[in-house]
Amino acid sequence: MKLFLGVDGGQTATRTVVGDEQGRIVAHSSGGPSNHTEEPGGPERLERVILATIREALASIPVPDPDRHSFAAACFGMTGETDIKTRILERIVHTERLSVVHDSVNALAGATAGQPGIIVIAGTGSVARGINARGEEARVGGWGHQFGDEGSAYWIGREAVRAILAERDRTGPKTILTPMLFDRLSVSSAYDLMAKYYSGEFSRDHLAGLASWVNEAADSGDAVARGILRKAGMDLAHFALQIVSLLFAQRVDTRNAPGFLVCYTGGVFGSEHVLSSFTEHIENDHPEAKIRPALLLPVFGSLLLAYRAVGITIPPEVCRRWAIPESPPESKLDV
């Protein structure tokens, strides 16, 4: 039996699915993060996580020797650069055809079930990618937390801290984010908060984790928190609109213009404040846009690309039946 492997490796988890020649999902598994291979211990962690998730998936089929089984094709969607990861995966993964792509590529394939459209991803970071009917592709964003990631959980957390500092300097309004974060982070002042971040005691991922508290504050009616989340939605919409301008023909008459698909995924979109702003800004400019959550998880996009690498096309109606039972849809701001 020929088997095909799809893997989505991210900053918080690694998901793996295995499909047969007919496009049936026959196994799946998950493990820890497999990114940041440039950091000390990163390559070893990538190797350990990938081997463990593949072994777990194959053990459930089962195959005679999970550690030596060769896949007909395998595709890995990975956060960040792919060169180091490719070298590692070429060494440890047995496959006739290996492809390693940026995680926005497999996320797009999964979001649209392989059809033309746009995906906007907003988790710890943010990026958007699109493909049109001619096969032309474009990517916007994805430049990392220091120079980009607009609208992401990291960006939201940073804006929350900046709002606290603005209140302290009397250059911004009062916000319940100040007492909320001081109490929950066990700090007594803006100076203490800064010391935690600048010393490295609080990490980049810690800052991104503040996004859920910003959403909580917005739900409580805090105008500053609501403003942060609405700005996040607007920035993410701008990603999508830029791809529209690059890939999809300008409309002449919106009543007769063909619609195009704009999908979204990632924990940030669990906030109704972000999602409503995102939708509003796209529809104001392109009322013909069809805005909806991603059809499939990114890991299924990796599997679709593995099939595609050997010339197998899985019909959209088959793809829409794919699911991982223990992976519920995101329903709240959770990064």
d(CA 67, CA 50): 11
The closest of 132, 112, 169, 125 to 151, measured between CA atoms, is 125
Residue 335 in tokens:
């990064």
Is residue 299 within 8 A of residue 8, CB to CB? The reply is: yes
Q: What CATH number does the domain containing 311 carry?
A: 3.30.420.40
pLDDT at 37: 57
Regarding whether 128 and 70 lie in a shared domain, the answer is no
Is residue 6 within 8 A of residue 305, CB to CB? The reply is: yes
Range of the domain at 95: 4-113+295-319
Which amino acid, residue 144? G
Regarding whether 109 and 151 lie in a shared domain, the answer is no
Regarding whether 63 and 150 lie in a shared domain, the answer is no
Regarding whether 34 and 61 lie in a shared domain, the answer is yes
Regarding whether 226 and 124 lie in a shared domain, the answer is yes
pLDDT at 330: 42
d(CA 31, CA 202): 24
The per-residue pLDDT for range 256-271, each reduced to its tens digit, is 456 789 999 888 999 9
The per-residue pLDDT for range 76-88, each reduced to its tens digit, is 998 766 778 888 8
Q: Is residue 143 part of a domain?
A: yes
Please give the distance of CA 182 from its chain centroid, rounded to a whole number.
Answer: 29
d(CA 335, CA 109): 21
* Number of structural domains found in the chain: 2
pLDDT at 331: 38
Q: Is residue 179 part of a domain?
A: yes
Q: Is residue 332 part of a domain?
A: no
Regarding whether 56 and 31 lie in a shared domain, the answer is yes
Regarding whether 95 and 122 lie in a shared domain, the answer is no
Q: Is residue 327 part of a domain?
A: no
Regarding whether 182 and 101 lie in a shared domain, the answer is no
Regarding whether 214 and 67 lie in a shared domain, the answer is no
**Regions in the chain scoring below 70 on pLDDT:** 35-41, 80-81, 249-258, 323-335
Q: What angle do CA 286, 289, 293 make, to 5 degrees?
A: 135
Regarding whether 122 and 90 lie in a shared domain, the answer is no
Regarding whether 238 and 267 lie in a shared domain, the answer is yes
Q: Is residue 331 part of a domain?
A: no
